[in-house]
Amino acid sequence: MRIEVSENNRYMFRPTRSVIDVEYLPLLLMRMKGGLRQLLQAQIREKNFNAVLTNLELKSASDGRCVAELLVTRPHLNVARTLHGGLSATLVDSVSTFALLTQRNVRSVSVDLSVSFIGPAKEGDLITIDATTLKVGQTLAYLTVDIRKQSKLIITGKHTKFLQQNVDYYGNKF
């Protein structure tokens, strides 16, 4: 995939045979909602655990914040037919990572993640995931996430990430 700027200054994504083009997105594109959408789609295409994020829609992403929406469907449910706790933790992990990427294009790993369940979400509910970067230091980043259903808080999360030095999100050294 190659990123080009059209005559009217719009970003266009063009398929290429080279992997390196997509693996080195500049920080500017990571700050844009479109760049994060591209990253999310690439993760889903890997057909690994990230496939649970298939219906996640990024609404906004900039300045250390990312807002996404998810329509809760049957595969997202536990045996009690409410949003699965593991998926809730995945949403906290993924959306907060996207929020971090709007501030710093760096590879990071989770060192602490906590989720508090306040209320349920059921099949057909549209939930909003709002992640905020609280602080980015030399080696650690601190993020919070609120998940709401119809503006009612149902889940909160805290996420601490270790920032790898001199390596971008894709593992390229700089």
User: What pLDDT was estimated at residue 174?
Assistant: 62
User: What pLDDT was estimated at residue 8?
Assistant: 53
Cβ(147)–Cβ(156) below 8 Å:
yes
In 3D, which of 94, 107, 105 has the Cα closest to residue 29?
105
The answer to whether position 88 is within a domain reads yes
Inter-helix orientation angle 85-101/33-45, to 10°: 140
The answer to whether position 172 is within a domain reads no
**Adjacent-strand bridge partners of 109:** 162
Per-residue pLDDT, averaged over 39-51, amounts to 72
Tokens of 8: 């009217």
The answer to whether position 80 is within a domain reads yes
User: What pLDDT was estimated at residue 7?
Assistant: 55
User: What pLDDT was estimated at residue 150?
Assistant: 96
Per-residue pLDDT, averaged over 77-104, amounts to 95
User: What pLDDT was estimated at residue 16?
Assistant: 42
Provide the percentage of residues in the chain whose pLDDT is more than 70. 74
User: What pLDDT was estimated at residue 173?
Assistant: 72
User: What pLDDT was estimated at residue 42?
Assistant: 74
The answer to whether position 125 is within a domain reads yes
Distance of CA 114 to the CA centre of its chain: 16
Between CA 28 and CA 64 the distance in angstroms is 13
Total domains, the chain: 1
Per-residue pLDDT, averaged over 64-90, amounts to 96
DSSP 3-66: EEE-TTS-EEEE--S-SHHHHT--HHHHHSHHHHHHHHHHHHHTTSGGGGGTT-EEEEEETTEE
Q: What is the CATH number of the domain that holds 153?
A: 3.10.129.10
The answer on pLDDT for 43 being more than 80 is no
User: What pLDDT was estimated at residue 41?
Assistant: 75
User: What pLDDT was estimated at residue 152?
Assistant: 98
The answer to whether position 174 is within a domain reads no
The answer on pLDDT for 2 being more than 90 is no
The answer to whether position 170 is within a domain reads no
The answer on pLDDT for 6 being more than 90 is no
End-to-end CA distance of the chain, in Å?
Answer: 21
* pLDDT band at 14; cut points 50, 70, 90: very low
The answer on pLDDT for 158 being more than 80 is yes
The answer on pLDDT for 92 being more than 70 is yes
Domain that holds residue 58: 2-163
